[in-house]
Structure 1
């Protein structure tokens, strides 16, 4: 007599790229937090004797045209380069999730108004919309973050609406309604929390895009202002050194931006796929 044993398929192994991206982002976050302890110099310490110095024990990643240590500036720049996208996505999430949930819950004319509002915002190129806001309220990282937060709101609102429409058709929504629970309470306590996993996965992907957008604004002079060590501003300030054959002032912050954006995209896509499979 033979006994058949059913075996469950093993969980899908996470690809190597996922682990590498996660490890790199943990390293970047740790560097940003520990910058005052790890950085050998102050980020704005000028030393004209070290102008455009190459990589050396004294300057691990070289120095810029003002003699400022690129390694120290990259470490401190990680702070603004990571906090900025986090802040703008927090603003966009609060507004976008509220609008998307409102449209999906009420539908009808409310859905039509919200949809037309987001369509109008989509009619303007995102960067142009941000530049218009910056032109009115002035340059600076705070203005750039607020402007990008508004620019990303319709994207998150549309995504939230699509997820909420599917969630609103599930039996538990009708069950809570039969119990006499109000719409606001259902949305806050049950609908939005059940959508959270899908929304978070989407936001992780948007984080890299937000970082790139903020770096672009800083490069154009609308975001971070000197003497900030923001990576986008570092790329702008390092451009004149290319004429002198020095590429490190541009290469170091540019590579940091590219690697962080790619890492967030790799992790975000992975999380979005897994959360989509496990969705309730």
Structure 2
């Protein structure tokens, strides 16, 4: 009798380790440093952002001016540090306005359906058909240029985007059993939406707003560059690029390059972190 053959032992399957999000970690570190620099600007900046020294006009990188100066002799490092405050706070306020209006409209359309959904959908479609930047410029033409007007105008321009996203998410959330359970208990629609439906949309909406932050920052910088946003003597990054543009002809690149690099770095970092945050929040992690 032949001995029974034993089946060969199978080698353990190696499960590849999850790739670490090094890009998101690096982008998060960059944003952390930018926020810290904005908060500590009075301590880190070697000069006040509005100090003019014509004798140091368009100076290159020196021991006194690590990033050079602009045509008025203002220290670029100091201006960039102080400008980070406006460049970070203004997009946050803009998105707060868009979130309040957009979430309200999107939730209303998803909850009520019917004519309410039709009206909100047509309204957002009309605003989508109208270029957001042109809409913002028209509002600024009526109420005047400035950071406050730009934030309010862009907040309205971003409202349809947030409303459409909220509506799409809220429609799926509205069909879940817990909504019917609250209705059976006699709870009103306004209370269900305010205390249960909207909070459960929080993860998805917040992740989406983080993704929009970089775009909002770029939109505000564009308005300042065109002369519709922040006004002199502000250290807004978009305005700094506009003011440094004339110096490029004279061979001085730093006045436009320094704030331009700062804008690009923060926008790219927010996009990377935003996509990562949106994925994690959507998956409930």
Q: TM-score of the superposition, structure 2-length normalised?
A: 0.93
Q: Which moved more, 1:12-21 or 1:88-97?
A: 12-21
* Alignment match, 1:203: 209
Please state if 1:267 is matched with 2:273: yes
Q: Does 1:179 align with 2:154?
A: no
- Deviation at residue 271 of structure 1 after TM alignment: 1.1
SS for the counterpart of 1:17 is: helix
* CA drift at 1:11: 8.2
**Cα deviation, residue 276, structure 1:** 2.0
- Aligned pair partner of 1:106 in 106, 112, 126: 112
How far apart are the structure 2 equivalents of 1:165 and 1:14? 34
1:126 aligns with 132
Out of 75, 79, 103, the residue aligned to residue 73 of structure 1 is 79
1:213-228 superposed matches below 5 A: 213-228=219-234
**Inter-CA distance 192–12: structure 2 relative to 1 (3 Å threshold):** farther
Measure how far apart 1:120 and its partner are. Answer: 1.0
Change (3 A) 1:278 1:233: same
> Which residue does 1:230 correspond to in 2?
236
Consecutive unaligned residues of structure 2, counting only runs of 5 or more, are: 1-12
User: How many Å separate the matches in 1 of 2:20 and 2:198?
Assistant: 28
Alpha-carbon distance between aligned partners in 1 of 2:105 and 2:259, rounded to the nearest angstrom = 36
Question: Equivalents in 2 of 1:12, 1:229: separation in Å?
Answer: 42
* C-alpha separation in 2, matches of 1:95 and 1:13: 38
Q: Per-residue displacement from partner, 1:120-150 (whole Å, max 9, x unpaired)?
A: 1111101000000000000000000000000
Equivalent runs, 1:1-280 vs 2, <5 Å:
12-278=18-284
Q: Structure 1 pair 186/12, CA: closer, same or farther in 2 (3 Å)?
A: farther
Shift of 1:277: 2.1
Deviation at 1:12, TM superposition (A): 3.9
Aligned residue for 2:8? none
Determine the C-alpha separation between the residues in 1 that align with 2:273 and 2:20: 10
Can you give the 5+ residue segments of structure 1 that lack an aligned partner in the other structure?
1-6
Runs of 4+ deviating beyond 6 Å: none
The two structures have a TM-score, normalised by structure 1, of 0.95
Distance 2:201 2:149 in 1: 30
Name the CA shift for 1:12/1:197 in 2 (closer, same or farther; >3 Å). Answer: farther
Which protein has the larger Cα radius of gyration, Structure 1 or Structure 2?
Answer: 2
User: Alignment partner of 2:283: what SS?
Assistant: helix
SS of residue matched to 1:278: coil
**Superposed CA offset, 1:146-195 (max 9, x none):** 00000000000000000000000111111111111111111111111111
Q: Distance in 2 between matches of 1:242 and 1:27?
A: 28
